[in-house]
Amino acid sequence: MFLNEYTGRGVRIAVVDSGVHAGHPHVGGVEQGVGIRDDGLLDVDFVDRLGHGTAVTAAIREKSPDAGIIAVKVFWRSLSTDVGSLVRGIDEGRVRGASVINLSLGTSNVAHRSLLQEAVERASAQHVLIVGAIETDIDWMPGSLDGVIPVKLDWHCPRHEYRIVTHHGRTAIAASGYPREIPNVPPQRNLKGISFAVANASGFIARARQASQSHRISEIWRILETGVSIA
């Protein structure tokens, strides 16, 4: 069966971002949500007041309309947070049953590498797929870490397609940097960038996760590379 016949049904995707406006028509609700406060404590408030997390979730939902969304809010007043909150966000997505974690964010601070790598390893041990950004000239983390599915921005890739590429010797996904379209708003005036390449890729990965008969990441890559489910 071709990958485009899947919808992400049965797959939970944690969106670690600025929260989600669950009532937005391009989101259509979330399965659960949580906020990670600056002091590390959990908060019931996962409402998005910055817009980024909602736009990211809308792009994911477009590609995998039947996936369950777990909103994990780590951005509150601006699109920045500390590494402790990010690590807690990854862990919360894992313990809440996500099988895919979307990280439309990144840091180039090498001082954070060990903490982020440990969070990735905890997720990988439970067969959770983390999807993160990479760039040609910046060593973004967690996207560049072992165990993460790296996503590269490709402005020439159509929004409903993806490409398998090689980046610094690693297999990666290249995807469009444009989000879901908004009526009467030109793409040039809408939000855009690597955040949405990651989101678009997460939607495709959720389809592959539904199609897979195995939790192994090698099987996910094989499905993505062929576009079909291999029994």
Give the pTM. Answer: 0.94
SS3 of 36, please? Answer: strand
Residue owning tokens 């879901």: 180
Which helix (DSSP H) or strand (DSSP E) does residue 222 occupy?
helix 217-226
Tens of pLDDT along the chain (231 residues) come to: 478 899 999 999 999 999 999 999 999 999 999 999 988 899 999 999 999 999 999 999 999 999 999 999 999 999 999 999 999 999 999 999 999 999 999 999 999 999 999 999 999 999 999 999 998 788 899 999 999 999 999 999 999 999 999 998 899 999 999 987 766 555 555 578 999 999 999 999 999 999 997 888 999 999 999 886 554
* Nearest 10 degrees: Cα torsion 35, 147, 116, 168: -120
Residue 220 CA to residue 86 CA, distance in Å, equals 25
Q: For the domain with range 3-226, which CATH number is right: 1.20.58.220, 3.20.10.10, 2.40.30.10, 3.40.50.200? A: 3.40.50.200
**Residue 75 near residue 85, CB atoms below 8 Å:** no
The residue extents of the domains of the chain are 3-226
Strands 68-73 and 32-36 come out as parallel
